[in-house]
Amino acid sequence: MEDATVNNRERLPSDLNQVLTVAKYDVLKHFRSKRLLGLLVLEGLVLALMFALPIALNLDTSDDAAGYMSSYVGWVSMLIVIGATMFAGDAIVSEFQSRTGYLLFPNPVKREVIFLGKYLSTLSIISLMVVLYYGIAAVLTLAMTGESTVLWVYSMLFALCYGAAAAAVGFLLSTVFKGSTGSLVLTFFMLLMILPLIMAVVGMAGYDTVLIMSSAEYVISGLMSDPYVAGGLAPDLWASLGVLAVYVAGSLLAGLVLFKRREMVS
């Protein structure tokens, strides 16, 4: 083995380059994992059932593209919750629990780089999942109604924002827990039950539910109507978008602080 002199300090890549490297290999993890395969199978199953069941049972479906596609869009938030759980729920804690942190952390990489790279990767996978779902649903809509609508694109863009917020919450919980199981379970129940429950109670008490992240689910469905009408549990579009941004920023910031402070102990 030769021993050439190299300047390891000078050739260190920028933080941004390192973020992209971490993201690239984390995406590879998702592509090689059974979780992504399982979620894609689930997505396919939902699409197949939504398409085939009305035909098989001879049910009337809307002739209007937006109306027909709304039935597909109704499942998007559930898929995002599952996606955020599977790809964000243990993203950070797994480095500690499975001891891969012993491999990664002694490298000249800042903790924030690792955190953001992993978040970027999770965001990419959730986005892929959402875009794929909307894309196939749009094709099926075209096939069944003979027309298309731009409304699904708005709904999809908002769903991507909801996905970013759900993933950020998952990341925050992932930095708190000592074990993957607890982190995954709490992420799932937080997004599926706890936040919706709080929203329902807040709504029943007569308060605006826009501050609860789960209210964004109503926007995803509501955007399939033109114009979008706020009311009931459906919050104002721009206010909801702002709330999602706050969830993303707040959760990531808190998660990052916790991750930086977390020590690699056996």
At which residue do the structure tokens 């009305």 appear? 54
Nearest residue (CB) to other proteins, 66 versus 93: 93
- Give the shortest CB-106-to-other proteins separation in angstroms: 4
Alpha carbon dihedral 114, 115, 117, 119, in 10-degree steps, equals 160
Which structure tokens are listed for 57? 């049972």
- Give the shortest CB-107-to-other proteins separation in angstroms: 5
Please state, in angstroms and rounded to a whole number, the distance separating the CA atoms of residues 171 and 105.
18
Instruction: Find how far residue 97's CA is from the centre of its chain.
Output: 23
- Give the shortest CB-178-to-other proteins separation in angstroms: 14
Which structure tokens are listed for 222? 């509501």
Nearest residue (CB) to other proteins, 101 versus 182: 101
- Give the shortest CB-129-to-other proteins separation in angstroms: 19
Nearest residue (CB) to other proteins, 4 versus 59: 4
Please state, in angstroms and rounded to a whole number, the distance separating the CA atoms of residues 28 and 61.
40
Nearest residue (CB) to other proteins, 53 versus 110: 110
Q: Site residues (CB under 8 A) for other proteins?
A: 1, 3-6, 8-9, 11-13, 17-18, 21-22, 25, 28-29, 32-33, 98-103, 105-110, 261, 263-266
- Give the shortest CB-29-to-other proteins separation in angstroms: 5
Nearest residue (CB) to other proteins, 95 versus 217: 95
For residue 91, the 8-state DSSP code is T
Contact 115, 254 (CB under 8 A): no
Nearest residue (CB) to other proteins, 110 versus 178: 110
- Give the shortest CB-27-to-other proteins separation in angstroms: 11
SS3 6: coil
Handedness of CA 32, 113, 211, 181 (dihedral sign): positive
Rounded to a whole number of angstroms, the CA Rg of the chain reads 21
